Structure 1
């Protein structure tokens, strides 16, 4: 009996020597060789030395757990939704019993499920020396081999999930993949990575299609401000909030320089956002400090095929099926919609429903130039694979874009019209979309919750309880949001002075700080009707333009400040001035902008610094900025004072539209027409609508833009012409009238080179006659007295770019 007992004892010792022991002591930042973190022990986790990060098992569903790293500020015992920054096994969760993470003596870090199967491992090997798994202060989980000096065998920073931490390198081998939803942490459809052309890109990798949607696919790489000429493929977000990539892409977060916790994340909706952890009265909250998309419907795949995406600030992003289609899966919009009719039935008569202001990007089965609408309809009707077409105006004629797939549909400010082909029997029931579409963010209804294959002994009871708890939490959240909104409104209305809510992300400066930055407002660099602009040096060494608004104590000064702040807080475009912050202190109202080295366009025109090439580029860039204001913002924005003084030039003479103190916002649902309490703008650049009290639309900015372009070409001011007599009274001839009269006179005298008569002879460099001739024609079209005869700014951009291509 003694021999068998001794044999069993030896066998047990051998098993114990090869199996990692449980690591259930008090939390530390390291896991030694041969130890385990068990899911069965609640306090089995690692904590970084600075107490900021925790690593352990995180619950992702019913009896489903992932080994994760999260911010310790949100303790699992007190907050059921901590901020997770990394997951080892996001797509294969482990059981809530008997699962463990083990560091084997051979150097392999292994995650095993309850049945002892390997779910995840680092697949590392250690040759000699000691081993240690450590959670660093940076949030990096590092496996060290120590043999004289530490050597990194593996680190979580090399394998990010959906989040990038400050100073975490993002390389050619890295990728951020979104989660499936807020409730489902498994891999979603959106990925940030370095493309083969060395450009940092966002990819939609859906169930049926794959497409890159950032940078904007319709732009050339250099038009998007990127460069393919690099081989390092590396990007990083530093602790101050500056992001830089080897493809020349970079940005500063809105609170740049403020020391706080930050994360950069590819959210489940496909947008990249940088969050900052901000102290608030009721605790800490993650606040968006930067985002890649201000128009979320432009993200590919957000609503699936055969659907339309719309957005407004109150209800957020919304998805709606195209008329004649129904939702494929009521729990998941990514699957889109399917037809309620049988396609390609020869005996069924078909026709079209027409929806304006709709864009469907890509999937053109054919592209026909200079075609009539009726001809385009017939081509689509005769093609079984054609699901509809877009009919667009481009370069003085209409083009037909036939669609074989309806992907990436969204409500657009551009004047695009979509024709959907349907059986005639479905046409009478058509109603305009976006009226009652389903909200994308409805909890538990439109986004598939996490679903795992772990069986629970008590049947569906736990699931029912969890669902009930989820519903209760959802109701409580809605009640709290309503309560917060009501109390906030009460606080605002009870204050002596009320302000428009400033978009999250602005830094609020103290008046003393800006006074010091400008050396007591010593150096003035600009002056206008709304205020004086000074140059200043901020505490983070950035050079800024600091605008001190006039009349801040009266109603007009206050309203101008509120209009400017609420407008610029929503804008993000390379041809619009970037705003870094503001100051509201007593009677002081200041706005802090990026400093533009070459000042205003007016200053450059006066000093004759611009050659013809720069002038053409400025005309194109300004048009792009205004087109964004009018048609791509979350709200329609009118500038109302477009003139050379409000177009600023950076060190490379790239134009940026500035000064939105006279702007007017329009809610998309209310249309463009609006009334104004007073005339806005500058004499000479103002459209006739202001004088004749006609409805004010975005076409007033188009008129002003036309005058600015003519001023650049001719070198003459908008009203510096000889006086003319009109119906017995004399007045100054406008620049627009002078150009038209000069062209008419040249044409009557058979002089076909009228461009030579109007161009500014003092401008340096040779000009392209074809380019300038077209530019003048476009400017005159913009400056038509009849607003309906003027193109939209998006059409102007298309015409300008087409002129460049022809050249």
Structure 2
């Protein structure tokens, strides 16, 4: 058997070496679309170049990763694919590089403009750069052209990005032709993302509502250069600098920066074990902020299934296959020039359409704003906003509704003008239409050719040889792994901390110095003690030092870094960096001046206004986790200790060590959780009774925290006051809290924390109490979502 295996493996290796592929194309030769072996391969074997199939019988000359399926990094003719028969890339004897279709039409070419008799060649380098150059003897001569100078949608490590270059996204994952999104250096020297729509153009990154330095950029360097190095550090002349999540690994993975079809920039690293790409950095965590994502007269929002587009009331999709075309009115609307008999306005809360306002009118009431929009035929909607700086309301008239998105964090409402004939109750709801994927997304040509007959016996021998060769390699790998032992594998894993975005990676010595040898303790977080520190850039920070360095502690560390790294919200704690050195695991956060809500509940520092602000802010943060992230995040440990307060007593949710990060649409049950999560007294009944776990576990915990915020009583204290015979429901103490509140309110007794001396808003109290009791219901279906909670609390404040 071993002799047979040796013989077949020898035959296998001879077969491979005999058909080894070149990394250059010599003068006078060509690559044919019909020959699968007509490809160039880099010396290190990482990259391949040749004809890549982009549809039925159509190909583009491309560069791709050899061992990773469908990962193209460059295309020569993405908008003019060639036929699957008789197409060739030729390096002619004249020295010109020409791509011809079956009909002999030139689809792409590079002219040799060197007045020299030196020979030329096309070479694929180990960096993924395809270089057309002259030969000076056997050495490299002058470069005539290189693919790094004309990128499509991808930048590879050390591929410079300049004022002359641009990235253009593909139209979709399967349609590689040029799409609507571009990455460029703008005329003011800022690296920018631009949406080139069918009717409008707009810059959507960085946020153009502020000045460059307000968003961390600078326009004072006219050289306009940027580069992503092989270590994962991105440097740009406009001060856009970041490190990717796996920056600093001893063995650098393959990386690529891509402008994806959805208009977002992402940096991917290759997970060799899974042969897949992991996102290590992205420009947007909220994809609905990207312009043109849903088209005109439509709204982008988040649900458990992910991002979703929907038409405004009174509108319908233009193209059921493509949301980028937006929505159109369901019927003609005749303008009556100020007559309001045949029209009315529908209010849509928590909605914003960026830009394209016709005019703004200062100090207008809502009724006056409606009349103004009615008087203007081209007005189709308006915003009625309160300007805090000026202390008055502003009426913003719109004739175009572009870049719309719905979010609980948006305070605005839009008022849509519609004929009364289309505002019946059955039509006031948004039309939730799903995008239909179709084979039409592929590029098609109408020419069909007969396939040649293949020798099946040769194929059988070839695959038989590969199978035995693969078996031998498998046996060697198994032996190698067992010989090295599991301890080596474990230590290797401990050196690999894959985090989600570009934080600073601190050394243990740096953090020890910044915290003055961990001398000033400011709190205890999940699994560790928190210390105050002063970083070298004079920022005051909070450093959490994890005590548990076993597998559970390691898992909580990775969970916290991964999850917080993907989030971006004013009511979530911000992480600045981490340390993963030997046995030390530390996290560096922004410092919160007033500590936790738990600390402040026992003092007189929280008046009613601050408490209501904490209730609303915490609800917004949880609504973001549940409804607005690209991933679905369950916090799993909402309690006063994990709600921190800044200098203005604004809340920020912290401590994500027990959180669960899931893809939207995941069917979550207890099987998705390795253990019960949370803190006694704040845990939902689902944890104890082994029911399916949803975002409603966080809603329950929020309800208990709000009851504590109102009354000043912790769940355990309330139970003790009622006695041990009180029902405690899920094994914690919330039933005692609920019973006490309901009993006191029925009696008409005071339940508000005596520390605020009766100075509270009765309307806000009623709303907050109602919300808290609904959230803390035993039945999860009886609890509202966090987005609904935000809506109810805002109505109470109004």
Q: Calculate the TM-score normalised by the size of structure 1.
A: 0.63
Given candidates 402, 405, 412, the residue that maps to 1:410 is 405
Name the structure 1 match of 2:375.
382
> Are the equivalent residues in 1 in contact too, given 2:545–2:587 (CA < 8 A)?
no
Given candidates 544, 549, 559, the residue that maps to 1:547 is 544
| 3-state SS, counterpart of residue 223 of structure 1 | helix
In the TM superposition, residue 381 of structure 1 has moved relative to its aligned partner by 1.4
> Are the equivalent residues in 1 in contact too, given 2:373–2:379 (CA < 8 A)?
yes
Name the structure 2 match of 1:532.
529
In the TM superposition, residue 517 of structure 1 has moved relative to its aligned partner by 8.7
Given candidates 640, 644, 648, the residue that maps to 2:643 is 640
Given candidates 380, 390, 398, the residue that maps to 2:393 is 398
Change (3 A) 1:786 1:199: farther
| 3-state SS, counterpart of residue 689 of structure 1 | helix
- Distance in 1, matches of 2:111 and 2:307, equals 42
| 3-state SS, counterpart of residue 173 of structure 1 | coil
- Distance in 2, matches of 1:107 and 1:546, equals 62
| 3-state SS, counterpart of residue 334 of structure 1 | helix
Name the structure 1 match of 2:292.
301
Change (3 A) 1:323 1:133: same
Given candidates 117, 135, 143, the residue that maps to 2:124 is 135
Name the structure 2 match of 1:373.
366
In the TM superposition, residue 672 of structure 1 has moved relative to its aligned partner by 10
- Distance in 2, matches of 1:190 and 1:646, equals 40
Name the structure 1 match of 2:443.
451
> Are the equivalent residues in 2 in contact too, given 1:506–1:580 (CA < 8 A)?
no
> Are the equivalent residues in 1 in contact too, given 2:63–2:128 (CA < 8 A)?
yes
Change (3 A) 1:418 1:532: same
In the TM superposition, residue 30 of structure 1 has moved relative to its aligned partner by 0.7
Change (3 A) 1:344 1:146: same
- Distance in 2, matches of 1:439 and 1:97, equals 37
Change (3 A) 1:428 1:671: farther
| 3-state SS, counterpart of residue 438 of structure 1 | coil
Change (3 A) 1:118 1:628: farther
> RCO higher in 1 or 2 (8 Å CA, sep ≥ 6)?
2
- Distance in 2, matches of 1:457 and 1:546, equals 67
Q: Does residue 133 of structure 2 align to residue 144 of structure 1?
A: yes
Change (3 A) 1:566 1:32: closer
- Distance in 2, matches of 1:424 and 1:389, equals 17
Change (3 A) 1:731 1:409: closer
Name the structure 2 match of 1:170.
161
Change (3 A) 1:197 1:669: farther
Matches within 5 A, 1:591-740: 591-593=586-588, 629=621, 634=628, 640-643=643-646, 659-660=654-655, 675-676=701-702, 689=710, 691=712
Q: Does residue 95 of structure 2 align to residue 102 of structure 1?
A: no
In the TM superposition, residue 570 of structure 1 has moved relative to its aligned partner by 3.0
In the TM superposition, residue 565 of structure 1 has moved relative to its aligned partner by 5.5
> Are the equivalent residues in 2 in contact too, given 1:506–1:581 (CA < 8 A)?
no
Q: Does residue 43 of structure 2 align to residue 49 of structure 1?
A: yes
In the TM superposition, residue 244 of structure 1 has moved relative to its aligned partner by 1.1
In the TM superposition, residue 453 of structure 1 has moved relative to its aligned partner by 4.0
| 3-state SS, counterpart of residue 644 of structure 2 | coil
In the TM superposition, residue 183 of structure 1 has moved relative to its aligned partner by 1.1
Structure 1, residues 391-412: CA drift from partner, whole Å, max 9, x if none? Answer: 2222133221111011101112
In the TM superposition, residue 640 of structure 1 has moved relative to its aligned partner by 2.0
Name the structure 2 match of 1:246.
237
In the TM superposition, residue 514 of structure 1 has moved relative to its aligned partner by 6.7
> Are the equivalent residues in 2 in contact too, given 1:144–1:150 (CA < 8 A)?
yes
> Are the equivalent residues in 1 in contact too, given 2:512–2:518 (CA < 8 A)?
no
> Are the equivalent residues in 2 in contact too, given 1:85–1:162 (CA < 8 A)?
yes
Name the structure 2 match of 1:219.
210
Change (3 A) 1:112 1:677: same
Q: Does residue 341 of structure 2 align to residue 344 of structure 1?
A: no
Matches within 5 A, 1:157-556: 157-258=148-249, 259-280=252-273, 283-312=274-303, 314-346=304-336, 349-395=342-388, 396-412=391-407, 413-430=409-426, 437-439=432-434, 443-444=437-438, 449-456=441-448, 505=500, 523-524=517-518, 526-530=520-524, 531-533=528-530, 547-549=544-546
| 3-state SS, counterpart of residue 372 of structure 2 | helix
| 3-state SS, counterpart of residue 326 of structure 1 | strand
- Distance in 2, matches of 1:544 and 1:145, equals 56
- Distance in 2, matches of 1:277 and 1:503, equals 12
- Distance in 2, matches of 1:391 and 1:644, equals 31
> Are the equivalent residues in 2 in contact too, given 1:269–1:302 (CA < 8 A)?
yes
Change (3 A) 1:690 1:589: farther
Structure 2, gaps ≥5 residues long: 1-17, 451-496, 534-539, 596-613, 665-693, 716-749, 769-786, 791-798
In the TM superposition, residue 662 of structure 1 has moved relative to its aligned partner by 10
- Distance in 2, matches of 1:590 and 1:444, equals 48
Root mean square deviation, CA, Å:
4.9
> Are the equivalent residues in 1 in contact too, given 2:32–2:88 (CA < 8 A)?
yes
In the TM superposition, residue 338 of structure 1 has moved relative to its aligned partner by 1.1
Structure 1, residues 401-446: CA drift from partner, whole Å, max 9, x if none? Answer: 1110111011122111111111101111356756x72345x6438x
Name the structure 1 match of 2:575.
578
* Length, aligned pairs only: 588
Change (3 A) 1:310 1:573: closer
- Distance in 2, matches of 1:665 and 1:692, equals 29
- Distance in 2, matches of 1:119 and 1:550, equals 63
- Distance in 2, matches of 1:565 and 1:202, equals 27
- Distance in 2, matches of 1:54 and 1:183, equals 20
User: Is 199-208 or 25-34 further displaced after alignment?
Assistant: 25-34
| 3-state SS, counterpart of residue 168 of structure 1 | coil
Given candidates 11, 27, 30, the residue that maps to 1:33 is 27
- Distance in 2, matches of 1:104 and 1:544, equals 63
Name the structure 2 match of 1:716.
none
- Distance in 1, matches of 2:557 and 2:711, equals 22
> Are the equivalent residues in 2 in contact too, given 1:508–1:582 (CA < 8 A)?
no
Q: Calculate the TM-score normalised by the size of structure 2.
A: 0.64
- Distance in 2, matches of 1:296 and 1:424, equals 34
In the TM superposition, residue 54 of structure 1 has moved relative to its aligned partner by 0.1
